[in-house]
Structure 1
Amino acid sequence: MSPLAAVGPAFTQVWTAFTVDTAPTPGVAVVNLVGPGRGNMMGRAFWAELPQVFAALDADESVRAVVLTGAGNHFSTGLDVAEVLGGWMGKLGPGSVAQAAQRTELLGLIREMQAGITSVATCSKPVIAAVSGWCIGGGVDLVSAADVRLASADAKFSVREARLAIVADVGSLQRLRGIIGEGALRELALTGKDITAERAGRIGLVNDMYPDAAALLEAALGMAGEIAANSPLAVAGTKAILNEDREEIVARGLRHVSLWNSAFLHSEDLLEAVAAMGERRPGVFMGH
């Protein structure tokens, strides 16, 4: 197999929230989350570009496996709530009367974000997530859509949405059930607690742990190289078969939570969560 030629649109297009590069290993692409924003936060550019990046990689015959990682010290600190949801505070706030159009628009936004994460899960090229530092909220949604998750010893994971008065709505609640099991999923999702890479390994969230980011990337590239050396037809077929039942169940769950959040996302608790984030204090929630 000839070395990966970086000529496809995934490699040649200039992205805002990502870089896409070739790896020394033939057939392997490396997708880096690069922000913009503190800790590779997931702003509007991220959600717009994510499905485009993975559609381009899916269509590129020179790509046989993908390593997904974060630039800098963290994988991702999750959704940029202020940028993505800030505008909805006014649209659905006090004084609003008829809100069907606004809630329909919000439903469309949620489903676009869901489709972005799903593009990783349904990409015919296997995706290995290599996680260092924080992986919070939307970051966990993203890695739950990968085929394999590896972590460095400093990695920390948090399904944090409940602490922000949000029901996680882009895939972690649906996909993690088959990865870590019902009990661990409910613990993480209902408490919003942070867990270490060691705990993530014990519950099966990550396949293996490495001492530092350099060793992690080396291992991820090595595993991607093993995949890339196999028959691409057999690999794509294997992933399609593995996805069959799961993605049908996931799609049903995503439809449900998108309707739930388009109806109930806006609350006094959400406004309090946003204010608390800005003031760097714990939120005080009253269930309103």
Structure 2
Amino acid sequence: MTNVQEWKAFDVSVDDGIAEVTLIGPGKGNAMGPDFWSELLPLFTALDGDPGVRAVVLAGSGKHFSFGLDLPAMSGDFGKVLAADAKAGPRTEFHDLIKRMQAGINAVADCRKPVIAAISGWCIGGGVDLITAADVRYASSDAKFSVREVRVAIVADMGSLARLGAIVGDGHLRELAFTGKDIDAARAEKIGLVNDVYEDGDAVLAAARAAAREIADLPPLVVQGVKTVLDHSRRAQVEDSLRYVATWNAAFLPSEDLTEAITAVFEKRPPKFQGK
């Protein structure tokens, strides 16, 4: 397993068959910037291939799991395609960027070792994409969730729209994705987004570790086989959805509304969308 010092966006430890992956930013609220997106794929590829890892606990550092996409840090990657005269070249580069980012989330979903997410505080946008790629989700009582992309003029393209319906059902997915509304831990448990809710961050992390321990003590190849079989029938549908949204966003995401959303973040004000 690659040494923890080599990761900028994660703390990683492996002990007695259990890997703990902790988001550490560097953006506020463990926001997902360039380091996160460049490191997620190689990190989970390494965990998948490490025979010393039987289960993975995924958590956020500090009070929050993740504020989601770090728009200010990623604005440079959006810049070319947001230009008014952006044509095939910039749009192709943007499509490639989306596919690379999707590959990181996919690596979490495709990791043969079960992934248990321990969620405290805010889990927004890309954070929801990440936890929907996990196998089991536990939350602390203060956790809050939002498929926030619609509120910043983005069609969610990292996996929530592809995976969340199988977790919470189509109606709940549509409500969350159309409105970008916030839901608390109790609501998340009621609709099946999380398996259980615990008193605080320490308790939810302890529960995730206990579940990982229970899994790690079972026959590892059988556990991996169970995950492979469970994922088999879903994989083609998820992959098709991800391909489609990557193409859709490369064609249609650039807009005055997206520029307004990014500008509003920098200026710390509510955006004013015009449908342009």
Q: TM-score range by the shorter chain?
A: over 0.9
In structure 2, the residue matched to 1:196 is: 184
In structure 1, the residue matched to 2:115 is: 127
Equivalent-residue separation in structure 2 for 1:220 and 1:87 (angstroms): 35
Task: Write the mapping of 1:71-220 to structure 2, written as runs, cut at 5 A.
Answer: 71-94=61-84, 96=85, 99-220=87-208
Q: Cα offset for 1:138?
A: 0.2
In the comparison of the two structures, how many residue pairs are matched?
Answer: 276
Q: Does 1:15 align with 2:7?
A: yes
Deviations 1:55-104 (A, max 9, x none): 1111110110000000011000000122223343345323x26x101100
Q: CA 1:115 to 1:44, structure 2 compared with 1: closer, same or farther past 3 Å?
A: same
In structure 2, the residue matched to 1:227 is: 215
Q: Does 1:246 align with 2:238?
A: no
Is the Cα–Cα contact under 8 Å of residues 80 and 90 in structure 2 kept in the other structure? no
Deviations 1:112-149 (A, max 9, x none): 00110000000000000000000000000000000000
- State, as a whole percentage, how many aligned pairs show the same letter: 57
Q: Which range is displaced more, 256-265 or 275-284?
A: 275-284
**1:232 partner letter:** P
Equivalent-residue separation in structure 2 for 1:274 and 1:179 (angstroms): 30
In structure 2, the residue matched to 1:280 is: 268
Deviations 1:190-231 (A, max 9, x none): 000000011000000000000001111111000000000110
**1:188 partner letter:** L
Match of residue 44, structure 2, among 38, 54, 58: 54
Q: Which range is displaced more, 136-145 or 275-284?
A: 275-284
Equivalent-residue separation in structure 2 for 1:88 and 1:158 (angstroms): 22
Deviations 1:7-57 (A, max 9, x none): x22x4552000010134xx21110000000100010001000001110111
Unaligned 5+ runs, structure 1 = 1-7
**2:102 partner letter:** Q
Equivalent-residue separation in structure 1 for 2:42 and 2:270 (angstroms): 36
**2:153 partner letter:** A
Q: Which range is displaced more, 77-86 or 61-70?
A: 77-86
Equivalent-residue separation in structure 2 for 1:66 and 1:47 (angstroms): 19
Equivalent-residue separation in structure 2 for 1:72 and 1:269 (angstroms): 32
**2:95 partner letter:** L
Is the Cα–Cα contact under 8 Å of residues 41 and 80 in structure 1 kept in the other structure? yes
**2:186 partner letter:** E
CA RMSD of aligned residues (A): 1.1
Is the Cα–Cα contact under 8 Å of residues 151 and 216 in structure 1 kept in the other structure? yes
**1:139 partner letter:** G
Equivalent-residue separation in structure 2 for 1:279 and 1:88 (angstroms): 18
Is the Cα–Cα contact under 8 Å of residues 72 and 266 in structure 2 kept in the other structure? no
Unaligned 5+ runs, structure 2 = none
In structure 2, the residue matched to 1:43 is: 33
Equivalent-residue separation in structure 2 for 1:56 and 1:190 (angstroms): 36
Equivalent-residue separation in structure 1 for 2:228 and 2:80 (angstroms): 42
**2:258 partner letter:** L
Is the Cα–Cα contact under 8 Å of residues 105 and 158 in structure 2 kept in the other structure? yes
Equivalent-residue separation in structure 2 for 1:241 and 1:197 (angstroms): 30
Equivalent-residue separation in structure 2 for 1:191 and 1:92 (angstroms): 24
**TM-score normalised to the size of structure 1?**
0.93
